[in-house]
Amino acid sequence: MSDLPMKEQRVTKQRVAISAAMDTLDDFVSTQELHRLLHEQGTPVSLATTYRILASMAEEGLLDSLRNGEGEAVYRRCNATSHHHHLLCRNCGKTVEIEAPAVESWAARIAADNGFTQVQHTVEIYGLCPECSAA
């Protein structure tokens, strides 16, 4: 997370609808998938607004955001309350949240060694989960 101050967000009908929809989902969802779900539920939110709100919620730490195998951003309600990373199965999409203190120390040291401040990072490890490896 950044040490920069958070920009206060207006609470709009669209933001409330997107937040409520994210509460009902257990897995990562793309912006277009969420947009389709909202419209199926009769919630009129433009695709551009959906993109903007999801990005904003991820920036605020309310959602996890990562890139799927196709490079598309996907989002999920954040289950962990602290900074964390993900293991992702390339085959089935299973995601495991992990804490990695060694990664945190490494990132802080590399940033400091190079004079960087207010550093952010993400680590996503792709592989095959035990079930897909066994198949």
Question: To which residue do tokens 């004079």 refer?
Answer: 115
39 annotated binding-site participant? no
Q: Is 135 exposed, middle or buried, given 0-12, 13-18 or 19+ CB atoms closer than 10 A?
A: exposed
78 assigned binding-site residue: no
83 annotated among ligand-binding-site residues? yes
Is 86 labeled as ligand-binding? no
Cα–Cα distance for residue pair 58/11, rounded to 1 Å: 16
- Mapped to the 3 state alphabet, what secondary structure does 41-87 carry? CCCCCCHHHHHHHHHHHHHCCCEEEEECCCCCEEEEECCCCCCCEEE
Question: Which residues line the annotated binding site for Zn(2+)?
Answer: 89, 92, 129, 132
Question: Which residues line the annotated binding site?
Answer: 83, 89, 92, 104, 121, 129, 132
Question: Which residues line the annotated binding site for Fe cation?
Answer: 83, 104, 121
